[in-house]
Copies of this chain bind each other. A is one copy, B any other.
Amino acid sequence: MSKKTINAISPTRSENYPEWYQQVIKASDLAENSAVRGCMVIKPWGYSLWENIVRELDDMFKATGVKNAYFPLFIPLSFLEKEAEHVEGFAKECAVVTHHRLTQTEDGTLKPDGQLQEPLIVRPTSETIIGESFSRWVSSYRDLPVLINQWANVVRWEMRTRLFLRTSEFLWQEGHTVHSTAEEAIERTRMMLDVYAKMAEEYLAIPVICGQKTPSERFPGAIDTLCIEAMMQDRKALQAGTSHFLGQNFARASNIKYQSDQEKEEYAWTTSWGVSTRLIGGVIMTHSDDDGLILPPRVASAHVVIMPIIKKEKDRAMVTEYTEQLAKELRDQSYHGRPVRVELDSRNVGSKNWDWIKKGIPVRVEVGPRDIAENSVFVARRDQSHRLRQSIPKDQFVSELPGMLDDIQQQLFQRALDFRTEHSVTIDKKDDFYNLFTSTDENTIHGGFAHSFWCGSPECEAHVKKDLSVTIRCIPFDSSNDSGPCIYCGKTGTGRVIFSKAY
């Protein structure tokens, strides 16, 4: 019982993982539910995390020749209908605008008025509305490739929502490209998946498996969907990003044609790819512990907090001056090409240290009169026990902070990778497979990623999903070429796939 009280988050992960997740978000002040069904409010601490992700991704996109643009929020219903699989995939979760004004009724209340001739859909994704522009932008092979990205909000009406992971409105980027050959489009699809993998592993410290979705899990209308899949601490998978090769499906739907260098008119080949605020959910569930959020330094809202310790009024001026100077020195340092982000928390509240632990800031520094006398600072790392604090000469700390942040980043990645390794199993027997996902014995490994064979039939996939709520997360690119019995039907399949429960 005494052990329990030392954790800042209640319940703990092992007690109730979904509830722990909500409490970590609340305690760290990342976001909250709004009064609008399924829509979240991203609070400053959460939004700055998103800003950092956006900035890094945006640089990576631009380095591959992509340019940003902006397209309408609304999609005419008739546009959505142009691609049959696409509309089927999104029809059940569309916010539909039907009127363009409000009029006062006789009892003084307002009602929708000015009915639109054609309903407008609030974009759930923008292939069809962007395709309409592309059809006008592209006429010759000389206009290709078109490499466009949009940072935007999208809406997919959800009945059961969870902050960051599944919300009716979310923020994302959607890349859309047009090419003259299938090969080039396929290459782009993979290139952008690699960018996502780099973001996940090198910035978010989330190890991911890169692979291909099975046909039943593809984006509606795509020929091929590639994805990055991560393991959360409850051993469920999180699809963290997808990149789609759309073939000529959307080019046909939107009439994107070009004159080839042989002067033949041909349909173009398109791709689309996106990541969203869901990545923040991934960060929370990969790294955080029973004391709250843990942020990977490269995208952390702030890197370090300085907490002046002032117990006697006579020390105030000296401690304030010293800590402000320290903040300045730290801000002049750079970490991976960006200035070090520093918070200076001068509040006089007892909860200060724990507030920052719960907010997941990578490094905490306490500075009181005694530290100043020794020209040293008292330092704690969020990736280590909150009891582990260390006095370091101030100048040494300033110069070593970027290295310390690097080390924290690396530790978080390694810890997550070890966790995934520990909870990944190679299984060839159906009984073992079913046991893995149904066992409730705390002392055996259960859940996680099962590397198993699959015969390729959608029926086997459907049975497993129905029985266990387990899906094929992906066919990994680095899957070996050996063969074995399909985990459901026993027929031969080639190359192991990854089965898991998922968000």
Q: Is the CB of B133 within 8 A of A74?
A: no
Q: Could you say how many copies of this chain the assembly holds?
A: 2
Q: Which residues between 113 and 136 of chain A lie within 8 Å of chain B, taking CB atoms? A: 114, 119-122, 129, 132-133, 136
Residues in B whose Cβ lies below 8 Å from that of A41: 69-72, 133
A72: contacting residue among B34, B74, B100, B111, CB under 8 A:
B34
A96 to B113, CA, bound (A): 9
A410 at the interface (CB under 8 A from B): no
A44: contacting residue among B68, B77, B120, CB under 8 A:
B68
Q: Which residue of B lies closest to A113 (CB)?
A: B96
A101 to B40, CA, bound (A): 20
Task: Give the size range of A's interface with the partner.
Answer: 35 or more
A26 at the interface (CB under 8 A from B): no
Q: Which residue of B lies closest to A117 (CB)?
A: B37
A100: contacting residue among B34, B39, B94, CB under 8 A:
B94
Q: Is the CB of A74 within 8 A of B112?
A: no
A69 to B35, CA, bound (A): 16
Encode contact with B along A46-73: 1 for CB under 8 Å, 0 otherwise.
Answer: 0110110000000000000001111111
Q: Which residue of B lies closest to A39 (CB)?
A: B72
Q: Which residue of B lies closest to A95 (CB)?
A: B97
Residues in B whose Cβ lies below 8 Å from that of A129: 34-36
Q: Is the CB of B97 within 8 A of A93?
A: no
Q: Is the CB of B96 within 8 A of A112?
A: yes
Residues in B whose Cβ lies below 8 Å from that of A155: 73
Encode contact with B along A463-486: 1 for CB under 8 Å, 0 otherwise.
Answer: 000000000000000000000000
A165 at the interface (CB under 8 A from B): no
Q: Is the CB of A35 within 8 A of B76?
A: yes
Q: Is the CB of A68 within 8 A of B51?
A: yes
A414 to B406, CA, bound (A): 49
A320 to B155, CA, bound (A): 47
Residues in B whose Cβ lies below 8 Å from that of A79: 35
Q: Is the CB of B101 within 8 A of A94?
A: yes
A22 at the interface (CB under 8 A from B): no
A136 to B26, CA, bound (A): 13
A197 at the interface (CB under 8 A from B): no
Q: Is the CB of B73 within 8 A of A44?
A: no
Q: Is the CB of A120 within 8 A of B95?
A: yes
For A41, A102, A148, which residue has the most chain B Cβ atoms within 10 angstroms? A102
A42 at the interface (CB under 8 A from B): yes
Encode contact with B along A2-37: 1 for CB under 8 Å, 0 otherwise.
Answer: 000000000000000000000000000000101110
Q: Which residue of B lies closest to A157 (CB)?
A: B100
Residues in B whose Cβ lies below 8 Å from that of A253: none
A103 at the interface (CB under 8 A from B): yes
Using A95-B100, A97-B122 as known contacts, list a sample of 16 further A-B pairs with CB atoms less than 8 Å apart, ordered by residue number in A.
A35-B132, A36-B120, A44-B67, A44-B69, A47-B70, A48-B67, A73-B122, A73-B155, A81-B109, A91-B101, A91-B104, A92-B102, A94-B99, A95-B99, A95-B120, A122-B122
Residues of A within 8 A of B (CB): 32, 34-36, 39-44, 47-48, 50-51, 67-77, 79-81, 87, 91-104, 109-112, 114, 119-122, 129, 132-133, 136, 148, 152-153, 155, 157, 169, 171
